[in-house]
Amino acid sequence: MTTAGTAPPFTRYGGANCETSAFHKILDFHGVQVSEPLLFGVAGGINFMHMPPAPGGGRSFTGGRNGPFPEFTRRMADGVGLRLDVDVTEDPELAWRELRGQLGLGRPVIVYGDLFHLPYFQATRHFGGHAFVVHGHDPDRGTVSVSDRCSRPRTLTLAELAAARGSAHHPFPPRHARLAADWSAAREPAEDDIRGGVRSSCRAMLRPPVPTFGLRGLAAYGAGLDHLVRRSPADDVVAELTGAFVDFELAGTGGSAFRVLFRDFLEEAAARVRDPRLRRAVPLAQDCVDAWDRFLELLVPAWTPLFTELRDTYRERDQRLLDGSEEALERAAGLGARLPGLREGAAAELDPLRDQLGAELRGSVRALVACERALFDELKEV
């Protein structure tokens, strides 16, 4: 048992995806080494999803991961031999009392919160399915110490922590969720865990439960993008394209809609499991990463000065937020303030680009579907 007197200092920060990095850090703290890509893979992490806008308006939601919290999270725990408890409550005082008790014993804890209420992310939209590690409490200052995807330690006031954990906003209200397990009992994934993760991703891509998911959904999404770009108001087009760019590339995916994490998983899997299909899948996974990169470049194409500046601003802002220094966060805030004007300017430049952009996006998604079909046809027999 880790106690306050014997707990080693917590020095683990950063990561590609919030949930896999939080798991990786907690396991490492307890002396169990499992990489973030391997955790992602045994959870069967790859999918494609497109959820059209709600009737009340807004933009659609796109993603590349197989399953939300806690479905994905339980599969990840199973892959390292853990029985995972997901504790939720509507009582903020109880939630804090339980978390404080664990911190008092020197145990870092994975909790969930709404990005909108985490000031170091400067988020403008609500997302309550975000995981991070709380690893310290300073009662004199009324703060907690946090490890997140930023490369530096973060500090939250108790009010900020409570607002994030207790947010009622959709999607995925966190309900003060806290993960509990006998973390030191975790083990490295066995061959069956790796094969099971591959099969889970194959089912998601090849036999999706709804027509807007998997390869079928990806093909339909490309046709829809073509129609959107050619027909919709320019402001709506830019909002959808930049939103998808953020969802696929910047929003804790590890790059290229989680395909970089999956490629790295397959490389580890091929070294651990003697199956020629896994070895053959690695270059096919790289082809998918390359195809996603080409598609992402088209979502905010460098075809005009304003579109180029818009894409560069999104990328630099993300890099500054992940750096996390005070200077970097100040710079990120300035870049964020420029984004609405840049989107408006890009929309004004859209009309001459519509036909070419719609056609290229549709063709790029067709190439994506072909790459991913080749990959998952190879993997489905693993």
Express each pLDDT in 25-72 by its tens digit.
Answer: 999 999 999 999 999 999 999 999 999 887 766 788 899 999 989 999
**Does residue 150 share a domain with residue 25?**
yes
- Which CATH number do you get for residue 138? 3.90.70
Provide the β-strand partners of residue 46: 65
Tell whether 270 is covered by a domain: yes
Whether residue 353 is found in the same domain as residue 207: yes
Q: What's the pLDDT at 57?
A: 67
Q: What is the mean pLDDT of residues 251-280?
A: 97
The pLDDT value given to residue 98:
98
Residues 89 and 130 grouped into a single domain: yes
Residues 274 and 245 in one domain: yes
**Residue range 149-193, pLDDT digits in tens:** 999 999 999 999 999 999 999 889 999 999 999 999 999 999 999
Number of domains in the chain: 2
Q: What pLDDT sits at residue 306? A: 96
Please tell me whether residues 139 and 221 are part of one structural domain.
no
Q: Kindly state whether residues 224 and 288 are assigned to the same domain.
A: yes
The domain in which residue 222 lies consists of: 191-304+349-379
**Considering the domain boundaries, does residue 145 fall inside one?**
yes
* Residues 241, 93 share a domain: no
Beta bridge mates, 143: 138, 157
In this prediction, residue 347 has a pLDDT band, given cuts at 50, 70 and 90, of very high
In angstroms, the Cα distances linking 225 to 211, 245, 296 are: 16, 13, 13
pLDDT of residue 7: 63
Check residue 8 and give its pLDDT.
Answer: 77
Burial grade of 23 (CB within 10 A; 0-12, 13-18, 19 or more): buried
SS (H, E, C) the chain: CCCCCCCCCCCCCCCCCHHHHHHHHHHHHCCCCCCHHHHHHHCCCEEEEEECCECCECCCEEEEECCCCCHHHHHHHHHCCCCCEEECCCCHHHHHHHHHHHHHCCCCEEEEECHHHCHHHCCCCCCCCEEEEEEEEECCCCEEEEECCCCCCEEEEHHHHHHHHCCCCCCCCCCCCEEECCHHHCCCCCHHHHHHHHHHHHHHHHCCCCCCEHHHHHHHHHHHHHHHHHHCCHHHHHHHHHHHHHHHHHCCCCCCCCHHHHHHHHHHHHHHCCCHHHHHHHHHHHHHHHHHHHHHHHHCCCCCHHHHHHHHHHHHHHHHHHHCCHHHHHHHHHHHHHHHHHHHHHHHCCHHHHHHHHHHHHHHHHHHHHHHHHHHHHHCCC
Tell me the whole-structure pTM to 2 decimals: 0.95
pLDDT of residue 298: 98
**What gap in Å lies between CA 117 and CA 375, rounded to an integer?**
39
pLDDT tens digits for 117-160?
A: 999 999 999 999 999 999 999 999 999 999 999 999 999 999 99
- In this prediction, residue 344 has a pLDDT band, given cuts at 50, 70 and 90, of very high
Q: In sequence order, what are the residues at sequence separation of 6 or more whose Cβ sits closer than 8 angstroms to the Cβ of residue 360?
A: 298
Cα within 13 Å of Cα(82), Cβ side: 29
State whether 273 and 152 are in the same domain. no
In terms of domains, do 246 and 371 share one? Answer: yes
Say if CB 52 and CB 212 are below 8 A apart.
Answer: yes
b/e per residue 235-263 (b: at least 16 CB within 10 A): eebbbbbbbbbbbbbbbbbbbbbbbbbbb
Residue 255 binned pLDDT confidence (cut-offs 50, 70, 90): very high
Statement to judge: residues 247 and 368 lie in one domain: yes
358 touches 50 (CB < 8 A): no
Q: Which residues contact 192 (CB under 8 A, 6 or more apart)?
A: none
Tokens for 225?
A: 């993008």
Lowest-confidence segment of 66-70, 211-215, 258-262 by average pLDDT: 66-70
Q: What is the pLDDT of residue 3?
A: 39
- Mean pLDDT confidence for 316-328: 97
Q: What is the CATH number of the domain that holds 256?
A: 1.20.120
Q: How far apart are CA 270 and CA 248, in angstroms?
A: 26
Please indicate, yes or no, whether residues 258 and 136 belong to a single structural domain of this protein. no
Q: Are residues 354 and 294 in the same domain?
A: yes
Which of 180, 200, 231 marks a domain boundary?
180
Mean predicted confidence (pLDDT) in 233-244: 97
Supply the pLDDT for residue 84. Answer: 97
Give the end of a domain, one of 147, 180, 213: 180
Phi, psi for 271 (deg, rounded to 5) = -80, -20
Check whether 198 has a pLDDT greater than 60: yes
5 band by pLDDT with thresholds 50, 70 and 90:
very low
Mean pLDDT for 297-323 is 97
Residues near 381 by beta carbon (within 8 Å), at least 6 away in sequence: 277
